[in-house]
């Protein structure tokens, strides 16, 4: 697969269940919102998140160049297994067209190297 590293740094934010989305969520080229009965999880640009929010900061996003067909099998496994083998934590977001891997800024270089070693291409 071919991936690219998105610009910017990202945060993974937890909001209370049923929360209205603050304006800062809907900024930037990439953001994701997932609602469950237990929480609202948001992925958005780090610098858009106000101080005091419950957030894990300092993530980078690797986008799988898509669109991917729904009949494909093992896409996420093919990406996550090489990262687990070099002990890199990952947060995965899937959309209708593709998948995104979030890795910590400190791990982005090693993650790209592990993915390339596994046969994936990282676009410049």
Q: What is the pTM of this model?
A: 0.91
68 contacts 3 by C-beta, under 8 angstroms: no
Classify strands 2-5 and 121-123 as parallel, antiparallel or unpaired.
parallel
User: In this predicted structure, what is the pLDDT of residue 3?
Assistant: 97
Blockwise average pLDDT, block size 10, the chain, 124 residues: 95 95 93 96 97 96 86 85 98 93 98 97 89
User: In this predicted structure, what is the pLDDT of residue 85?
Assistant: 97
61 contacts 11 by C-beta, under 8 angstroms: no
User: In this predicted structure, what is the pLDDT of residue 120?
Assistant: 96
End-to-end Cα spacing for the chain: 14
User: In this predicted structure, what is the pLDDT of residue 66?
Assistant: 84
Q: Which CATH architecture has domain 2-123?
A: 2-Layer Sandwich (3.30)
- Domain boundaries defined on the chain: 2-123
């Amino acid at each position: 697969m071919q991936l690219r590293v998105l610009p910017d740094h990202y945060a993974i934010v937890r909001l209370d269940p049923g929360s209205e989305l603050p304006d800062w969520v809907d900024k930037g080229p990439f953001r994701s919102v997932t609602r469950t009965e237990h929480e609202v999880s948001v992925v958005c640009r780090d610098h858009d998140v106000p101080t005091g929010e419950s957030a894990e900061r300092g993530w980078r996003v690797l986008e799988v160049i898509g669109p991917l067909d729904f009949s494909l099998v093992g896409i996420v496994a093919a990406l996550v297994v090489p990262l687990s083998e070099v002990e890199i934590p990952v947060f995965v977001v899937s959309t209708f067209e593709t998948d995104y891997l979030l890795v910590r800024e400190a791990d982005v270089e090693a993650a790209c190297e592990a993915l390339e070693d596994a046969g994936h291409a990282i676009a410049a």
